[in-house]
Amino acid sequence: MSSTVHCVIGSGPAGVACARALVARGARVLMLDAGLELEADRAQIVRELAATSPAAWPPEKVSALTGDLQAKASGVPTKLIFGSDFPYRDAGGHLPWHGPDTAIRPSLALGGLSNAWGAAMLPHRDADIAGWPITNADLAPHFRAVTQITGLAAETDALAELFPLHCDQPQPLPASRQVQRFLNHLGRHRTRLNQRGWHFGRSRLAVRAADNERGQGCVCCGLCLSGCPYDCIYNSAGTVRQLRAEKNFTYQGDVIVTRLREDSTGVHLEARHRVTGAPLTFAAGRVYLAAGVI
C-alpha cells in the first residue's frame, strides 16, 4: 500500500469513481466532503418502508416523504428527496456563485446531486465529441467501468447501434402498457423513421432492476421522483458507504475546502468546518478535485 495520501474532494459520482480506482491500486485515500444527509426522522420512515412491501405502506408515511410533489409538463419546481431539500441546503452560503436564468443548483450533500438525478445513462456518440482530443474508443473501457459501479437498467435494442450498452447483462425494467404500446407503434414504422433520421429504444437508467447482491430490485412502487426507499436508483452515497469498509479509505464530512497550495512537499489544503466554521488544514501527495460540474 502506498504511503502517499491521495485526497479526493467531493462524494458525487466523479469523486467515488476516482476513489474506487485509487483504492483498487492500493493507495491511501482521504475523501473530504461537506456531507449533508437526509434528516434522521425522514430516514427512519424510509427504513420502515424499505422493510415492507408497497402494499403494506401506511399512507400517512408515504405522504410524509412525497409531500405535495406536482410533476407537470413544465417539470418539477424543486425536486425534493423524501420531502427534504438536503441535496441543496446551505450551498448558497458556502459556495458563492451566480447563475441567472438557470434552475441548476450546487450540492453539499453526501452523494452530491446523484441524490436527486434522473439516472439517465446514455454514452456519447462519435459525432457528439468530434472535436475532443479523445474518442469513444478511448472512453469505452471507462463507460464499462461506470456501469459496473452503477448497474444498468436497459434492453438490447436498435438504439445500441448508436449508443452501445457497455454492459454485458443489462436488466430491463418492466414497461407500462402505455410505453409498450408506444414502442410497438414506433416499431411498425421503424424503416420510415430511420430514413428520416429518427431512432428509438428503451431508456438507459442507473437503476437496480432485479435483485442482486446489492439489494432488492425495483418493485414499481411509483416513488421514483420522490426517492426510492429500496435504494434502487444509483446514488454515489452508497458507494461511499462501501468504500468506508476499506482499511485504506477514510471519509471526513463537514469539510468545506477553500484553497489548495502546492509546493515541493505536496499539496496543502485549507478548509473550514461546515457547522462551526473552525479552520482546518490537510496535506496530501495528490489532490483530485471532484466537486461537480458547477
Task: Identify the pLDDT of residue 18.
Answer: 94
Task: Identify the pLDDT of residue 1.
Answer: 45
Q: Is the dihedral of CA 96, 97, 101, 102 positive or negative?
A: negative
Q: Is the dihedral of CA 44, 85, 122, 11 positive or negative?
A: negative
The dihedral region occupied by 252, where left means phi > 0, alpha psi between -120 and 50, and beta the remainder, is beta
| Average pLDDT of adjacent 10-residue blocks, the chain of 294 residues | 83 95 96 97 97 95 84 75 94 82 87 95 90 93 92 92 90 93 96 95 94 91 94 96 96 97 96 97 96 80
Do residues 6 and 288 touch, judged by C-beta distance below 8 A?
yes
Retrieve residue 229's grid coordinates: 426507499
**In which element (H, E) is residue 106 found?**
none
Do residues 43 and 231 touch, judged by C-beta distance below 8 A?
no
Task: Identify the pLDDT of residue 67.
Answer: 75
Task: Identify the pLDDT of residue 69.
Answer: 67
CA 178 to CA 183: how far, in whole Å?
A: 9
CB atoms within 10 A of CB 186: 15
For the chain, the farthest-separated pair of C-alpha atoms sits apart, in whole angstroms, at 66
Task: Identify the pLDDT of residue 62.
Answer: 95
Do residues 123 and 244 touch, judged by C-beta distance below 8 A?
no
Do residues 30 and 252 touch, judged by C-beta distance below 8 A?
yes
pTM beyond 0.85, yes or no: yes
